[in-house]
């Protein structure tokens, strides 16, 4: 592997991970200046990057996000887009989407600087200077709870992002874990997983209190 594909130690350290606070940043958007994560304090938000304005896959993604805007709003979850295009380009692109595809984009789009993009690990070596398709799900305390990276050639599944926000909120509110494909899991349907007991007494109690396949695999309805 060539050296240009390798991140330095400092670059790796600067890229946020799950459980880290989202780096603080002042950004210009199509809705004016934003301070992240402060302006979304107390609510969830999804920060997502796209490679470039006026590109086919990105256009389908923005429409897909907008079509689910009300779903995110019901979850008290904001949407924030980002690419390294300038705000004027974002504005012309969303205007084109409205005029030609009859969809009005309701969420802000950050005019990302290279410094912001590098801070979030959005520019990957070997893919040019465009931002990759990244998704950061941020909780009301400004903590990154999930990160997704997609290659430029693959559009995202927005229903999965909605599901992730719902799942994280459900886990936080109820102290449970979320099974695969929830709420349509192959074993437990729309039920949730009870955290495994950590001692023998708790294990005996769990199998009496919940539906269990074994003491370490119990589930319940909410």
- Per residue in 85-108, pLDDT tens? 899 999 999 999 999 999 999 999
What's the pLDDT score for residue 41? 96
151 shares its domain with 185: no
pTM of the model: 0.90
Residue 184 lies in a domain: yes
Residue-wise pLDDT for 37-68, tens only, equals 999 999 999 999 999 999 999 999 999 999 99
Task: Tell whether 98 is covered by a domain.
Answer: yes
Do 14 and 107 lie in one domain? The reply is: yes
Which range among 2-16, 77-91, 95-109, 206-220 shows the weakest confidence by mean pLDDT? 2-16
Please indicate, yes or no, whether residues 112 and 206 belong to a single structural domain of this protein. no
User: Does the residue 163 lie in any domain?
Assistant: no
Q: Which of 155, 185, 210 is the C-terminal boundary of a domain?
A: 155
- In terms of domains, do 180 and 148 share one? no
* 89 shares a domain with 21: yes
151 & 198 share domain:
no
What is the structure's pLDDT at 7?
46
pLDDT at 139 over 90: yes
* Segment 160-180, tens digit of pLDDT: 999 999 999 999 999 999 999
Q: What is the mean pLDDT of the chain?
A: 91
Co-location of 193 and 124 in the same domain: no
In a domain, 22, yes or no: yes
Confidence of residue 112 (pLDDT cuts 50, 70, 90): confident
Which residues are part of the catalytic machinery? 58
Last residue of a domain, one of 155, 188, 208: 155
What was the pLDDT predicted at 15?
A: 73
Final residue before a domain boundary, out of 97, 123, 155: 155
- Say if 166 falls within a structural domain: no
What percentage of the chain exceeds 70 in pLDDT? 91
Mean pLDDT of 7-13: 47
Q: Are both 94 and 204 inside the same structural domain?
A: no
In a domain, 167, yes or no: no
Asked, for residue 164, whether it belongs to a domain, the answer is no
CATH code at position 126: 3.40.30.10
Indicate whether 24 pLDDT > 70. yes
More confident residue, 168 or 16: 168
Lowest mean pLDDT segment, chosen from 6-20, 70-84, 175-189: 6-20
Check whether residue 9 and residue 87 sit in a common domain.
Answer: yes
> Looking at per-residue confidence, does 127 or 164 come out higher?
164
Smallest Cα–Cα separation from 133: which of 118, 120, 117, 151?
151
Q: Kindly state whether residue 185 falls inside one of the protein's structural domains.
A: yes
Range of the domain at 201: 175-222
Distance between CA atoms of residues 2 and 6, nearest Å: 7
Answer yes or no: is pLDDT of 189 > 70.
yes
The number of folded domains in the chain is: 2
CATH of the domain at 205: 3.30.1020.10
Please give the pLDDT value at position 11: 47
My answer on whether 120 and 184 are in the same domain is no
- State the pLDDT at residue 131: 77
My answer on whether 137 and 108 are in the same domain is yes
pLDDT at 127: 60
């Amino acid at each position: 592997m060539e050296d240009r594909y390798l991140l330095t130690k400092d670059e790796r350290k600067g890229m946020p991970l799950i459980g880290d606070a989202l780096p603080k940043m002042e950004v210009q958007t199509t809705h004016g200046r934003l301070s992240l994560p402060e302006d979304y304090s107390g609510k969830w938000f999804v920060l997502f990057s796209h490679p470039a304005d006026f590109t086919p896959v990105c256009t389908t993604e923005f429409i897909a996000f907008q079509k689910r805007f009300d779903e995110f709003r019901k979850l008290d979850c904001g949407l924030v887009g980002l690419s390294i295009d300038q705000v004027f380009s974002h504005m012309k692109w969303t205007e084109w989407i409205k005029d030609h595809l009859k969809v009005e984009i309701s969420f802000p789009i950050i005019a990302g600087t290279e410094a912001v993009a590098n801070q979030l690990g959005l520019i990957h070596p070997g893919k040019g200077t465009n931002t990759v398709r990244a998704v950061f799900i941020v909780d009301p305390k400004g903590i990154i709870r999930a990160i997704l990276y997609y290659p430029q050639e693959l559009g995202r599944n927005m229903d999965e992002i909605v599901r992730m926000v719902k799942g994280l909120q459900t886990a936080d509110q109820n102290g449970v874990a979320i099974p695969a494909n929830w709420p349509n899991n192959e074993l437990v349907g729309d039920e949730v997983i009870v955290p495994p007991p950590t001692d023998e007494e708790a294990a005996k109690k769990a199998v009496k209190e919940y539906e269990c396949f074994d003491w370490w695999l119990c589930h319940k309805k909410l």
